[in-house]
Amino acid sequence: MVALQAHAASPRWSADILAPVLIFVALAALPFAAVYGTETYVLALFIRIMIFAIAAVALDLLIGYGALISFGHAAFVGLGAYAVGILGAHGMADTLIALPVALVASGLFALATGAVCLRTRGVYFIMITLAFSQMAFFTASSLAPYGGDDGLTLRARDTIAGYAIMNGERAFYYIVFACLLATYLLCRALIASRFGRVFRGARENETRMASMGYEVFRYQLAAYVIAGAIGGLSGFLLANSTEFVSPAYMSWQRSGELVIMVLMGGMGTLYGAIMGAAAFLLAEEWLSGLTEHWKMIFGPLLILIVLFARGGLVGAMDRLRGMRS
């Protein structure tokens, strides 16, 4: 019986190892393949994909492993972006300053709001995360010295210890790639740790975990803060990629898109969030090139995927592999 269970589990385990390896190998090799086409366009597109994949992986940590469906995750992205924009407006445009500030600002916001949000469950948790996100959105919109509704244009990308390393598109691509890889490995290590086992256990049966002596709230709050700080990292990179900061970065629509990316890829896999971000943004890019009314096609397409592609892209691959075996 044990042998049969191990045999049944091995394809899933091997897929969880092989799929991320293939994804990161493909991303690492992309700039070399891009030289045979429109390199600048391809690099810019996949930089955007990886930046949103970082935010989506952090959100999958909450949704897929903690059943904490947040509709306010974009607030952390926006805070990270505004940390770059505001510091840059005052002449402090160095990564060694801006990145820690972005991480701390997003983490503190997650700590303050998470302490309130995590005392609720279900639809109440969804609504209160959305409310806090909208508060951040309207606060950013009211910052007249930093562009208000119109947003804020950065003079240039941040330097690293005074060197303009991020100005080169390929160098910036690999910086974003390294951040995505580090984010994935960090979240994977957290899930595999004792912390992750308690966090996942609370998703299954919070009362039982509490009766075993674990302070579930503290574990959930720690995960929420980590996810928020990673969202700040995504915002830091997004601001440097676009050289622009806008309140739209923290709108509820952006939070909804991040949730859809996680659902499209497959919840509770982490690498599925990367696949979901790529599928979402590539489909958006392709459809927008076909017609100016592309959202009328994209919307129903997303609904069909969520309704019928149970488990997202990862689930579809598992079913296809099952049919072949």
Cα distance between residue 259 and residue 72, in whole Å: 10
Cα distance between residue 111 and residue 89, in whole Å: 27
In the chain, which ranges are continuous DSSP H helix? 2-34, 39-66, 74-89, 95-117, 123-141, 169-192, 194-204, 206-211, 216-242, 252-265, 271-290, 295-308, 312-324
Residue 164 tokens read as 């303009």
* Interval 167-214: pLDDT, tens: 888 999 999 999 999 999 999 999 999 999 999 998 888 888 888 888
Cα distance between residue 30 and residue 243, in whole Å: 23
* Interval 96-110: pLDDT, tens: 999 999 999 999 999
* Interval 75-93: pLDDT, tens: 999 999 999 999 999 989 8
In this prediction the pTM is 0.91
Q: What is the CATH number of domain 11-324?
A: 1.10.3470
Write down the domain spans for the chain. 11-324
Residue 324 has pLDDT above 70, yes or no: no
Q: Residue 117 has what pLDDT?
A: 93
Residue 67 has pLDDT above 70, yes or no: yes
pLDDT band at 323 (very low <50, low <70, confident <90, very high): low
CA angle 306, 312, 314 (to 5 degrees): 175
Q: What is the mean pLDDT of the chain?
A: 88
pLDDT band at 138 (very low <50, low <70, confident <90, very high): very high
